[in-house]
Amino acid sequence: MLSDALLELSKLIPPARLLQSLAARITYSSDNSKRSAVPAVVILAEHINEVQQVVRVAGRHGLPVTARGRATSTTGASVPTQNGIVLSLERMRGVLEINPADRYARVQAGVLNGDLQQQLAPHGLMWAPDPTSAPYSTVGGNLACNAGGPRTVKYGACRDNVLGLSFVDGTGALIHTGAFTSKSSAGLDLTRLLVGSEGLLGIIVEATLKLLPKSNVARSLLAFYSQVADAAAAVARVMCLPTTPSALEFMDGSALRLLSQHQQLELPNCAAMLLLDLDGPQSALDESEALTRAALAGAGCLSIERAANDVERAKLWSARRALSPTLRLHAPNKINEDVVVPVSRLAELSAGVEQIAAKSGLEIVCFGHAGNGNVHVNILYDGELEAQRVHAATALDEVFALVLKHNGTLSGEHGIGIDKRPYMQAALGAPTIDLMRRLKQCFDPQGILNPGKVLP
Ligand SMILES: Cc1cc2nc3c(=O)[nH]c(=O)nc-3n(C[C@H](O)[C@H](O)[C@H](O)COP(=O)(O)OP(=O)(O)OC[C@H]3O[C@@H](n4cnc5c(N)ncnc54)[C@H](O)[C@@H]3O)c2cc1C
C-alpha cells in the first residue's frame, strides 16, 4: 500500500527531503523528452544508507523507484512511473578524492560533470566524457546513459573511463565493483554492465573515474564539401591517420544555414562541413595538421581553414553546442535521434536520410560526432499538423531501419529510455533481449528499478 510505504519513508527521511506536495511532484515528473508522469513522492537522498532503505521500503511495497540526476535525458529514461518514487541523487554531489598519481577521482553520483572538470583542471587532469549537457548533468546520469561528447572520438565515452562503482541493487544491497587500478582482470566486469543500464540494474551512489591528462586543444580546422558523401569519405580517411583528432564533428548544409542565420557565423553555402580539433604536444602539431589537411583534401573538398585564435575557436564550438536548441527556433517540433553507423558507412547513412527526407516532405537536419559515426538525425515537423506527425513517425521508423541495415546501432550516447524501446527487438534480437531480462531479474528480482524503460 502506498500510504504504508509513505509512512515508513517518513520515519527514515526528514520532511524537507521527502517531497509530497503536488508542485514538487510535478517538478520531478518529466525530463528533456517532454514526457511526464507524476510520482507519489520525491526523495532527495543525502546518504548511501538512505538510498538502501528507500529501495528496501519500495521492495516491500512493490513500488517502482526511478533514480534521477538532473533529468536532462532526451529519451524519457528519467521520467518516473506514475505514483512511483523518484530518488534524486542531486544532493550527493561530493568529490571525495582526486588522486593524480593513480589517475582516478572518487565522486558521489550527483556531482555535476562540469563541476568535477573544474576541480580536476588545476591538477592538469580531465574526465573524458564531455556531453554538451556537462554543466547541468550528473556523473551518475552520465554513467547510467554511457554519455559521451565530441572528445569521445579520441578519449572514449563513460564506459571507457570508469574504474569502479558502488551501487544499490534492487534488494537494497550495496555492491562495489571494479578496482582503483587501471588494470584488473578479477572476475566479471560488472562496472561496465552497470554503465549504460539507465537505472534498471542498480542505483549508482559512488564512482571511481579514470582520469586523463587534460586535452589542450591547440588547433581547430574547418573543411567544407560540395557533397555530404565527400565529407563522409574524408572522415573515413582522417580516422585512418596515425593521430586521431580530439574532435571530429559533422554538420550538413541545413545545419550550416541555421548556424549562419542564428549564430552570426559567416559560413559558405555548401553541403557539409567538418570541424576538427587537434591536441597534443606543441612539437607534433605541425605534422599532425599537415597529415590531417591531406586527409581532408580530396574529391569535393571546397576549402580547408584554420580557426585564427582561441576566440574564433570558442565561437565555433559555442555555435556547434547551440545547434540543437537552435532547431527549436526553426520548427515547432523535432525528433532528435543519435544513431551510429560504422564510419565507413556514413555516406550510405546520409544518402538514405536524404531519400527519407524527400519522401516525407520534412526537413531532416544532421550533425554530430562523425569520427564515431554518431549522427544526430533531427526530423523537424509541426506537431499541430496530423499529416506531418504521421510523416515524422514513418520517417523515424525508416531511419532506424536504415541504420540497422548498415550495421549501426540505435543510440551512441543518449540511450534508449522509453522512446526507443519499440526498436530494441529488431536491433538486438530476441535471445539478447531475453538475456538482458534475466540479468535484470538477478539485479532487481522484484522489477522495481526504473520499470518500463529500455527493454521492450
Ligand atoms: C541540451 C542537452 C545536450 C545534451 N548533450 C548530450 C551530449 O552531448 N552527449 C550525451 O551523451 N548526452 C547528451 N544529452 C543527454 C543527457 O544530458 C545525458 O544523457 C546525461 O548523461 C543525463 O544526465 P542526468 O544527470 O540529467 O541524468 P537523468 O536524465 O536524471 O537520468 C538519465 C538516466 O540515468 C538514470 N540515472 C540517473 N542517475 C542515476 C544513478 N545515480 N544511478 C543509476 N541510474 C541513474 C535515470 O534513471 C535515467 O534512466 C544532452 C541533453 C541535453 C538536454
Per-residue model confidence as pLDDT tens digits over 74-115: 999 999 999 999 999 999 999 999 999 999 999 999 999 999
* Distance separating alpha carbons of residues 448 and 169, to the nearest angstrom: 10
Q: Is the CB of 391 under 6 A from ligand 1?
A: no
Counting atoms of ligand 1 from 1, which one is nearest the CA of 324? 1
Encode pLDDT of 116-166 as tens digits.
999 999 999 999 999 999 999 999 999 999 999 999 999 999 999 999 999
pLDDT of residue 352: 96
Q: How far is CA 179 from CA 182, 183, 208, 393, in A?
A: 8, 8, 8, 44
Name which residue sits closest to atom 27 of ligand 1, judged by CA. Answer: 141
Cα(266) to centroid(ligand 1), Å? 33
Residue of 210, 211, 204, 209 whose CA lies nearest to 69:
204
Q: Is the CB of 377 under 6 A from ligand 1?
A: no
Cα(366) to centroid(ligand 1), Å? 21
Q: Is the CB of 75 under 6 A from ligand 1?
A: no
Tell me the pTM.
0.96
Ligand 1, pocket-test mutation among 132, 162, 166, most atoms within 8 A of CB: 132
Q: Is the CB of 149 under 6 A from ligand 1?
A: yes
Ligand 1, pocket-test mutation among 137, 194, 448, most atoms within 8 A of CB: 137
* Distance separating alpha carbons of residues 288 and 394, to the nearest angstrom: 44
Place of cell 528507500: 54
Residue 420, judged by CB atoms within 10 A of its CB (0-12, 13-18, 19+), counts as buried
Encode pLDDT of 163-198 as tens digits.
999 999 999 999 999 999 999 999 999 999 999 999
- Strands 125-126 and 162-168 turn out to be unpaired
